[in-house]
């Protein structure tokens, strides 16, 4: 494992995140369910198929995932989820200009270099052993599905008939499905054959075919590993750095409604322009976006510093549409957007941390000093909805509360992935502590939860965490691309790892339908209206009373 260096173009970043997407967009659940859950496997499959026919990939993925929890062995649900994830990924790539204008335009020889690089890095760094056969098989499947994707076909297939496309897909299935590849050289030969056949029969440029193998091959890895376009890599770096150029929103497409604002960052152009979480963007510079994908809308929202964009915002409660014009600029992403005293009588402070970035430790120091000046005697540290971030940031913030012993350790396939992090003596914050967690507290948030629990340093309140206990390294590649690979697993001070399990809280609080967990910006509500916060305050009051 390598810590972050100063120059990002030559660096390997160690990153932990549930969802490593840019701050400008987010893939998140809606606040309220719009339909009842399917009662049978057949009903779930039929409804998911309706979503697929309408290219509502996010809704289809969500439904397949829920259905598989109830019927985990159903093969139609399993393949439906895999197929829909591929469609979603293809859509995202073809809404990314750094992909369509750059990578797919590569020649056969140029694009094969990307394939070689991906195969080599997976073999060398990935936490588990993945054969070239498995990698190429998933690439074949990705191409097979992409040949039914509207965006892929619109960009790459200008004259071929549906019959020709169907025949080519049949050929992929018959000749290349799970084709054995004993080496990287054989893998390269298979992809070269497919690319030449696709050009001969369908006139698809070789770069588009090879890139399906590069990106689709990563489906053989875990859900946290992927090949990154230049645009996605830049988004990820902006997330780590805590700064990007834009208007300061997180959003999610809802078919027929537009872009749901999941979060509006404080002190951002969007906040200054009156945008609020829960609003819908229905038009961008006069262009209707009711049925755009998140990525398509993001392309319209992006721009250079000081350029302007006009938004039509709809309030879903009043149905009123208002217009605002915003100027894009550098936006600082705060790790800790909310700092306050929630119980003045008992001196209970509260901080909301939404991510683990390079500046998180400095923000925490400033927040704690502010709360101490207001008479803080105990602290609630809210990690609900926090998807993670930098491993080093998690270690640094924990070091403020632990005086000795192990914080976290990592173990991977290679020696440089095996690290142990211990606390330094002399921390200043030995106050009673509550950590709020939920099912969206992941990765770096779980490092905090695991360490606080194992050391008996505080009380965990809320619901079981997500269960992502793996380390991703960001490996830069050619032409400003990158490869995000799971390179290690991490372990709590007692040697436990909770991947796909999650950390159980000490105090369980049932999820409330009134808590808008989908809106990352709505955590400044009245303490009495927040059941988790109320339970945390009660725990701290009991601790303070025993002193």
Which domain CATH number covers 314?
2.30.42.10
Residues 6+ apart with CB under 8 A from 104: 155, 156, 205, 207, 208, 211
154 domain residue, yes or no:
yes
Model confidence at 266: pLDDT above 90: no
Tell whether the model's pLDDT for residue 216 goes beyond 70.
yes
Q: Is residue 5 part of a domain?
A: no
42 is catalytic: no
Q: Catalytic residue, from 468, 470, 473, 539: name it.
A: 468
Give the H or E element holding residue 480. Answer: none
Per residue, what are the HEC states of 336-350? CCEEEEEECCCCEEE
Do residues 417 and 514 make contact, with C-beta atoms less than 8 angstroms apart? no
- 328 inside domain: yes
Question: Do 179 and 51 share a domain, yes or no?
Answer: yes
State yes or no: pLDDT of 289 exceeds 90.
Answer: yes
Whether residue 380 lies inside any domain: the answer is yes
Distance CA 501, CA 76 (A): 25
In this structure, is residue 234 part of a structural domain?
no
Can you say whether residue 158 is alpha, beta or left, with left for phi > 0 and alpha for psi between -120 and 50 degrees? alpha
Is 10 a member of any domain?
no
Confidence at residue 515, expressed as pLDDT on a 0 to 100 scale: 52
Please say if the pLDDT value at position 5 is more than 60: no
Look at residue 3 and tell me if it is in a domain: no
> How many domains is the chain partitioned into structurally?
3
Asked about 174 being catalytic, the answer comes back as no
- Across the beta sheet with 459-462, what order do the strands follow? 338-343, 348-352, 378-382, 433-437, 459-462, 507-508
Q: Of 282, 314, 332, at which residue does a domain stop?
A: 332
Q: What is the CA radius of gyration of the chain?
A: 24
Same domain, 423 and 350: yes
Which tokens in the block code for residue 528? 């009495």
Do 170 and 301 reside in the same domain of the chain?
no
Catalytic residue among 235, 399, 438, 454: 454
Residues 199, 292 within the same domain: no
Rounded CA-CA distance 503/204 in Å is 48
Q: Are residues 517 and 451 located together in one domain of the fold?
A: yes
Question: End of a domain among 278, 304, 332?
Answer: 332
pTM, whole model, 2 decimals? 0.84
Q: Is position 7 within any domain?
A: no
Residue 485 phi, psi (nearest 5): -125, 140
Same domain membership, residue 260 and residue 222: no
What range defines the domain where residue 247 resides?
243-332
pLDDT exceeds cutoff 90 at 513: no
Q: 10 Å Cβ neighbour count for 109?
A: 10
Closest C-alpha among 191, 165, 161 to residue 176: 191
Q: Residue 525: pLDDT band by 50, 70, 90 thresholds?
A: low
Q: Domain check: are 209 and 185 in the same one?
A: yes
**460-488 per-position pLDDT tens digit:** 999 999 999 999 999 999 999 999 999 99
For the segment 307-320, the average pLDDT, to the nearest whole number, is: 95
Same domain flag for 210 and 80: yes
332, 358, 373 — which closes off a domain?
332
Q: For residues 22 and 112, state if they share a domain.
A: yes
Q: Between 162-171 and 184-202, two packed helices, what is the crossing angle to 10 degrees?
A: 160
What are the pLDDT digits (tens) for 77-95? Answer: 999 999 999 999 999 999 9
| pLDDT tops 80 at residue 11 | no
Q: Which of 21-25, 148-152, 204-208, 432-436 has the lowest mean pLDDT?
A: 21-25
Same domain? For 516 and 378 the reply is yes
Specify the pLDDT at position 520. Answer: 52
- Residue 116 shares a structural domain with residue 46: yes
Q: Are 292 and 394 contained in the same domain?
A: no
Could you tell me the CA-to-CA distances from 390 to 335, 526, 531 in Å, in that order? 12, 31, 29
Query: Pairing between strand 378-382 and 433-437?
Result: parallel
Indicate which residue of 335, 443, 473, 492 is catalytic: 443
Closest CA to 144 of 75, 194, 93: 194
State phi, psi for 61 to the nearest 5 degrees. -60, -45
What CA–CA distance (Å, rounded) separates 503 from 307?
45
* pLDDT over 60 at 99, yes or no: yes
Write the pLDDT tens digit of every residue in 30-62. Answer: 333 345 678 899 999 999 999 999 999 989 999
Q: Is 443 a catalytic residue?
A: yes
Mean pLDDT estimate for the chain: 89
């Amino acid at each position: 494992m390598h810590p972050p260096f100063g120059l990002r173009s030559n660096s390997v970043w160690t990153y932990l995140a549930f969802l490593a997407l840019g701050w400008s967009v987010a893939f998140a659940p809606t606040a309220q369910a719009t339909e009842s859950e399917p009662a049978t496997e057949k009903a779930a499959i039929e409804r998911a198929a309706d979503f697929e026919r309408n290219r509502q990939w996010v809704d289809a993925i969500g439904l397949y995932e829920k259905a598989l929890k109830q019927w985990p062995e159903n093969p139609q649900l399993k393949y439906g989820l895999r197929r829909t994830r591929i469609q979603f990924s293809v859509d995202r790539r073809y809404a990314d200009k750094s992909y369509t204008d750059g990578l797919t335009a590569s020649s056969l020889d140029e694009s094969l270099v990307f394939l070689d690089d991906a195969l080599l890095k997976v073999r060398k760094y990935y936490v588990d052993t993945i054969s070239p056969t498995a990698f190429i098989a998933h690439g074949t499947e990705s191409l097979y599905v992409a040949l039914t994707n509207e965006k892929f076909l619109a960009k790459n297939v200008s004259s071929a008939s549906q019959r020709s496309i169907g025949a080519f897909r049949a050929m992929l299935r018959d000749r290349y499905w799970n084709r054995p590849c004993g080496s990287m050289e054989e893998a390269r030969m298979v992809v070269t054959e497919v690319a030449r056949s696709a050009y001969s029969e369908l006139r698809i440029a070789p770069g588009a075919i090879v890139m399906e193998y590069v990106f689709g091959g990563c489906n053989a890895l875990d859900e946290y590993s992927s090949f990154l376009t230049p645009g996605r890599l830049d988004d990820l770096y902006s997330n780590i750095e805590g700064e990007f150029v834009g208007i300061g929103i997180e959003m999610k497409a809802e078919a027929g409604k537009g872009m749901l604002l999941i979060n509006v960052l404080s002190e951002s152009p969007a906040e200054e322009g009156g945008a609020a979480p829960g609003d819908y963007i229905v038009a961008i510079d006069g262009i209707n976006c009711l049925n755009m994908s998140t990525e398509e809308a993001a392309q319209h929202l992006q721009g250079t510093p000081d350029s302007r964009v006009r938004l039509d915002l709809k309030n879903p409660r009043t149905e009123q549409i208002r217009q605002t014009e915003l100027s894009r600029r550098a936006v600082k992403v705060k790790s800790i957007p909310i700092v306050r005293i929630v119980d003045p009588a008992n001196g209970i402070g509260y901080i909301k941390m939404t991510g683990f970035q390079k500046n998180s430790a400095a923000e925490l120091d400033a927040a704690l000093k502010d709360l101490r000046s207001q008479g803080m005697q105990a602290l609630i540290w809210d990690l609900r909805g926090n998807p993670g971030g930098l491993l080093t940031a998690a270690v640094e913030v924990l070091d403020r509360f632990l005086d000795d012993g192990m914080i976290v350790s990592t173990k991977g396939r290679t020696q440089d992935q095996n690290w142990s992090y211990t606390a330094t003596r002399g921390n200043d914050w030995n106050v009673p502590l509550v950590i709020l967690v939920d099912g969206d507290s992941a990765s770096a948030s779980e490092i905090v939860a695991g360490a606080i629990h194992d050391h008996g340093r505080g009380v965990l309140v809320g619901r079981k965490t997500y269960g992502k206990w793996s380390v991703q390294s960001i490996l830069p590649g050619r032409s400003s691309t990158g490869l995000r690979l799971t390179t290690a697993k991490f372990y709590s001070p007692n040697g436990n790892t909770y991947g796909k399990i999650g950390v159980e809280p000490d105090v369980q609080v049932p999820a409330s339908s009134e808590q808008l967990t989908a809106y990352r910006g709505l955590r400044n509500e009245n303490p009495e209206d927040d059941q988790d916060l109320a339970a945390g305050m009660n725990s701290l009051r009991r601790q303070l009373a025993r002193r």
